[in-house]
Amino acid sequence: MSGPDGICGMSMAVGSMPHRDPADACRVVLKHTPALPAWPQLPNRSTRELMHLQAAEGLPGVLLRGGRISVDAADALSHKVENSSGCPMSPESASGLHAFLSTDIGNPIAVKGQLIGPVSFCLAVKDQDSEPLLFNERLSLMVAEHLRLKALWQENALAKLCPRTVFFLDEPGLGILERSHVAPDDFAIQLIEHTLSGVNGIKGIHCCSSDGLELLLRTSVEIIGVDVYNHVNLFAGYSQEVESFLARGGILAWGVVPTKESALAAETVDNLANRLDQAVRRLADWGVSEERLRKQWMFTTSCGLASLRPEGAEQALKLAAELSRKLGTGQSVRALAPS
């Protein structure tokens, strides 16, 4: 596996798509992100494909009632989560993944997988007393191990298509954590690091919240994906941390393409490039290396695309791809190409 610098300048999808037909979703992803395709998550197809329900499959103690999920703490903790080959994701919970695995994806530079992160899962899912799992340290650690096995299985499956993998945790809940302090930051980082310890490829985290950046920058991930379309001052006050992240070889995945229909219809690649240029210059004024910012970047959407119409989702991926062609560094992309 080449280092993360090998994918600088590329565009990629966050993961979720609005389609109900997995084959259609795969076609769109491969059309617009052929060098780094991500398997499509399809929450509009079934509630089982919502990211927290999708990841809950196989977790001991899970209770499903009317599409709502909870965990019986005593039942869960009476089991040991253990499987050396990982925890599978079934076609019923991840139809897009299984369609992707059976599709001819060509010869990509890398393939991308994704999974809800442990903090977001443990905030979204509650125990039998309606308390978030994050309030229970033992349950949270159990979930992190369960998700580690999910990531292990998923990456192994994707590696059969392409040996180079990029794996993201989706952590929108980090913003809630930073605002409410419902759990210590060090514990949240412990959960994230444990989950990603099952990943061999390039590791990333996506967080579309206006909060949570400080915690993200303290993790060991190589790519951080953030929403800079809706949160233009996201990096204010964190210039030193961003500089340190870039200095160790980290990549910023700029979520500069909007995911609302009205905003998307008004944008062009030139508008988005100008918006991104202003954000980079602002960071450079705060002391971050502009050279690193313009070399160690990727282009993506501000969040997942499930809330859009299929046509809108395709337009969003097209804009991200056009940004990559306009601003990306072709030399670094070729550095990861198969020999």
Whole-number pLDDT of residue 339:
28
Burial track 222-236 (b if 16+ CB lie within 10 A, e otherwise): bbbbbbbbbbeebbe
Return the closest-CA partner of residue 52 out of 115, 129, 132, 144. 115
Whole-number pLDDT of residue 4:
67
CATH number reported for the structural domain that contains residue 102 in this entry = 3.20.20.210
Q: What is the pTM of this model?
A: 0.93
Looking at the domain assignment, is residue 174 inside a domain? yes
Q: Which domain holds residue 201?
A: 4-334
> What Å distances lie between residue 88 and 57, 92, 124, 148, CA to CA?
8, 11, 21, 11
Tens of pLDDT, residue by residue over 94-124, are 999 999 999 999 999 999 999 999 999 999 9
Provide DSSP, 275-337. HHHHHHHHHHHTT--HHHHHHSEEEEESS-STTS-HHHHHHHHHHHHHHHHHH--HHHHHTTS
Looking at the domain assignment, is residue 24 inside a domain? yes
Whole-number pLDDT of residue 333:
31
d(CA 204, CA 250): 10
Whole-number pLDDT of residue 338:
28
d(CA 244, CA 55): 32
Whether the CB-CB separation of 41 and 16 falls below 8 Å is answered with yes
Query: Which residues in the chain show pLDDT less than 70?
Result: 1-5, 84, 329-339
With a CB cutoff of 8 Å and minimum separation 6, the contacts of 335 are 2, 5, 6
Q: Give the count of domains, the chain.
A: 1
Q: Using the structure block, give the residue that is written with the tokens 């951080």.
A: 224
Strand order in the sheet with 68-71: 62-65, 68-71, 126-127
Looking at the domain assignment, is residue 123 inside a domain? yes
Tens of pLDDT, residue by residue over 239-249, are 999 999 999 99
Whole-number pLDDT of residue 209:
85
Whole-number pLDDT of residue 337:
28
Return the closest-CA partner of residue 178 out of 244, 247, 231. 231
d(CA 266, CA 262): 7
Looking at the domain assignment, is residue 11 inside a domain? yes
Tens of pLDDT, residue by residue over 126-156, are 999 999 999 999 999 999 999 999 999 999 9
Burial track 13-36 (b if 16+ CB lie within 10 A, e otherwise): bbbbbbbeebebbbbbbbebbebb
Looking at the domain assignment, is residue 176 inside a domain? yes
d(CA 34, CA 32): 6
Looking at the domain assignment, is residue 339 inside a domain? no
